[in-house]
Structure 1
Amino acid sequence: MKIPYSLLDLAIIRENHDAKEAYERSLNLAKHAEKLGYTRMWLAEHHNMANVGSSSPQILIGYLANGTSKIRLGSGGIMLPNHSPLVIAEQFGTLATLYPNRIDLGLGRAPGTDQTTAQALRRGRMESVQEFPNDLDDLRQYFSEENRDQKVRAFPAEGLEIPIYLLGSSMSSAVLASQKGLPYAFASHFAPGYLISASKYYRENFTPSEHLQKPYFISCVNVIAADTDEEASYLATSFFQTALGIIRGQSYPLKKPVESMEGIWTEPEAAAIQNMMACTFIGSKESLKPQFESFFSQVQVDELMISCNIYEPEKRHRSLEIASELFQ
């Protein structure tokens, strides 16, 4: 059970609260995670979602880094097709200059939003599948010292060692990560279907690179931990209500927990959420241990990343404490 453990946050806005409160809550979460020994905290890029505050991970990373001292901060991820590789290199070069050896750059190819909003982000230029690897190569070129002789250079990024991670939820990202010799983070917290096959392919086909000599696989899962199983199940209803918004194509705020989800979701909706959130661990420390032992027996994981959506900040902090006790 001893494994590096990290944290994923979307700065989800709580019901009857605003984005500023969500950002302050994320900073307090980062400080608490730092004390507990969490390796890193990542923020995910989303757009046109009223209750997801992480539309600009680059800015939030700087905010969190300024309020902490050693925990790594990064993107989980930046949706590269939404941006110019040059601009991303400049932004993360700036972050890495201000906060040396603490910044990660996780990259994804999905838009992080609906197609209409993606068109607005990309101003009508929708990339093909083949263009993402090219954008990745361009980005890595801007970070390299060899780029000094090129007409277009990225300052202050040039020559900086900023770890790049590929994110994904399908086989295509596993293929690209293995070909490029990059660490790979899998979004099993909401898309577990290809987890085992993608992790197996990535390990078996990994090509060593100058940045990484052996495969490094991160799995992101949902964890709702409490001192008792009953309390954990109660707290998890906030998470289920937010997940219900995904099923319904809406952006729901993080709501207070309820005694029962009966009457809130339908049976088909409950089944869909249980399927989508199959990599979700709910319970006390005693109950979670065998759940994770079973998980690790099926998937070889180098690092576990935790998504923890609990309404009350104090209860969320306690959940992180229990998780850290499991993996230390």
Structure 2
Amino acid sequence: MATSTVSSSQSTDHSTAPALSMLDLVPARRNDGPQQPFVNAVELAQTAERTGYQTMYYAEHHNMPEIASTATAVLMGHVAARTETLGMGAAGVMLTNHAPLVVAEQFKMLEALYPGRIQLGLGRAPGTDQATVRALHRSPEAAEHFPSDVMELLGYLDGPSRIPGVEAFPATPDATIPVTILGSSLYGAQLAAKLGLPYSFASHFAPTHLQEALEVYRSEFKPSERLEKPRVTVAVGVVAAPTVSEANQQFQHALRRRVQSMLGRHRPQPFTEAEIDQILQMPAGNQVRNMMSYSAVGTPDRVVEQLKSMAAETQADELILAHQAVAHEDRLASVIATGEAWQK
């Protein structure tokens, strides 16, 4: 079993394979009860732990009925209590939705409860639509404050606090919670480089600027007390199945589900299959295809070949796999098959 956390002061030797982790968006389906997504999430994490994955990541989303990962820190604690060594990561917390002090308190509490297993990824997007942005009481200038919010948060985690007399508790004096900047553009790459923090690119849904962002991050990186050398994480969509035909079929099902969730949100009735066919021939459908284009699809051995090729192209220290099969049983099978083939 791989250790649950990679030291933030290390960078992978690229003569060896990068770490393999996983992103779970905790999908909620129309006929599921409220607990079922979290039952599935625990089973998925336990399966990933047994199969050699390093970390399970969860992402903050709001007002999306098909995604149940709304309260990221709560979810991480729930799953951590039901696993043993698997790392628990946020990928991420949308910091501009929250006070840095509250995020620091939540993650220091998680670290106190599950020492050495907690990681924090920070994003500046709202993770939702504009109506929900207003409901979150997020100011229009929130994104502009992201760098200063990150610095304030780091002060609570590492000291000294940037606000005299205010500290984040519980105290965790012997722990350094790894902090990563998330992004899908050059902005996050530049900020991570400037602050000397790891950088994670969301290529599983926004691959357009992947190589450019990584080049900017590495060329502009400045060492810090947290990180001596650049450290890169790349997210990849995955569908592994016994045959190529099955894998392609599952991927197409996931593509159609993405069209439904992205373009059919707030509709009283879901799109029909014929309507989805039409949308996939339109620019909006092509946009969804492009979002999912950075994916490894096929038999387990073929998926691993694609993943290793992506790792070589990006020189990634860690790959985060977003297993895209819609059926829970197919996702579990994809997780197991990929993990076992990766370790051969």
Normalising by structure 1, what TM-score? 0.91
How many angstroms apart in 2 are the aligned matches of 1:169 and 1:249? 24
CA distance in 2, matches of 1:273, 1:62: 32
**1:156 positional shift:** 0.8
Q: How does 1:40-189 map to 2 (within 5 A)?
A: 40-121=55-136, 123=137, 125-147=139-161, 150-157=164-171, 159=173, 160-189=175-204
- Tell me the equivalent position of 2:8: none
State the Cα deviation string for residues 155-192 of structure 1 (Å, max 9, x = none).
11463411111101000000000111111111000000
Equivalenced residue count is 322
Partners of 1:80 and 1:107 within 8 A in 2: yes
Question: For structure 1, which runs of at least 5 residues remain unmatched after alignment?
Answer: none
Is the Cα contact below 8 Å between 1:226 and 1:319 reproduced in 2?
yes
On the 8 A contact 1:142/1:154 being kept in 2, the answer is yes
Question: In the TM superposition, what is the alpha-carbon distance from 1:290 to its structure 2 partner?
Answer: 4.0
Alignment of 1:243-282 (within 5 A): 243-248=258-263, 250=265, 263=277, 265-268=279-282, 269-282=284-297
Matched, 1:211 2:213: no
**In structure 1, distance between residues paired with 2:186 and 2:82:** 37
Percent sequence identity over aligned pairs = 38
Distance 1:190 1:73, change over 3 A: same
Quickly say closer, same or farther: Cα 1:326–1:302, change in 2 above 3 A.
farther
Unpaired stretches in structure 2, ≥5 consecutive residues? 1-15
- Kept in 2, the 8 Å contact 1:5–1:39? The answer is yes
Q: Look up the equivalent residue of 1:214 and give its one-letter code.
A: K
One-letter code aligned to 1:267: Q
Kept in 2: contact 1:180–1:209 (CA 8 A): yes
Native 8 Å contact 1:147 1:158 kept in 2: no
Code of the aligned partner of 1:168? G
| CA RMSD of superposed structures (Å) | 2.4
Give the conservation status (yes or no) of the 8 Å contact 1:142–1:157: no
Deviations 1:5-41 (A, max 9, x none): 0010111112421331011100011101011111100
Query: Quick one: which amino acid aligns to residue 153 of structure 1?
Result: E
Deviation at 1:50, TM superposition (A): 1.1
Matched with 1:238 is: 253
Q: Secondary structure at the match of 1:325?
A: helix
How far off its partner does 1:149 sit? 9.5
Contact 2:181 2:199 in 1 (8 A): yes
CA contact (8 A) 2:231 2:317 kept: yes
What amino acid maps onto 1:236 in structure 2? F
| SS of residue matched to 2:208 | helix
Are 2:339 and 1:313 aligned? no
- What's the secondary structure of 2:209's corresponding residue? helix
